[in-house]
Amino acid sequence: MVKIARSAYIHYSAKQMFDLVDDIEAYPEFLPWCQNTAVLERTESSVTASICIQKSQFNKSFVTTNTLKRYENITMTLVEGPFRQLDGNWYFKDLDDEGSKITLNIEFEFKNRILGMTLGSFFEKSCNTLMDAFIQRAAQVYE
């Protein structure tokens, strides 16, 4: 199982960053490995969505349910896809007038060993660059 943990102190608010992470429909605009997304269901406290990742000729989709604690955290749980396990958490904390701290934790393991060997390092690299991608997106959207 692969575990990824990243944190960053940024000059954007917790609300701004929460809104970017929650805007799943926009992922293909700034995540190069994200071919497309579809929100399957959205309520006030959760969103279920499909994300299609692409690497060369490989396309794999997965569905997660994200539990939302507005402007504080997003908990991602696997519904279906090529993973044995895929869990993630985003945490957003305002730091007075100086911006916020955002934290991302992801754990994943592919169901199929061959798929894990084919896409595992690519998916790990993609997860490791998520924090930077969202910070860059914030600069595009908020400045």
Domain ranges of the chain: 2-142
Distance, CA of 9 to CA of 115 (rounded, Å): 35
Q: Going by CATH, does the domain composed of 2-142 fall within 3.30.530.20?
A: yes
Alpha-carbon gap, residue 52 to 15, rounded angstroms: 26
pTM above 0.85, yes or no: yes
Nearest to 135 by CA among 143, 65, 124: 143
85-137 residue pLDDT tens: 999 999 999 998 789 999 999 998 888 886 677 676 777 777 778 999 999 99
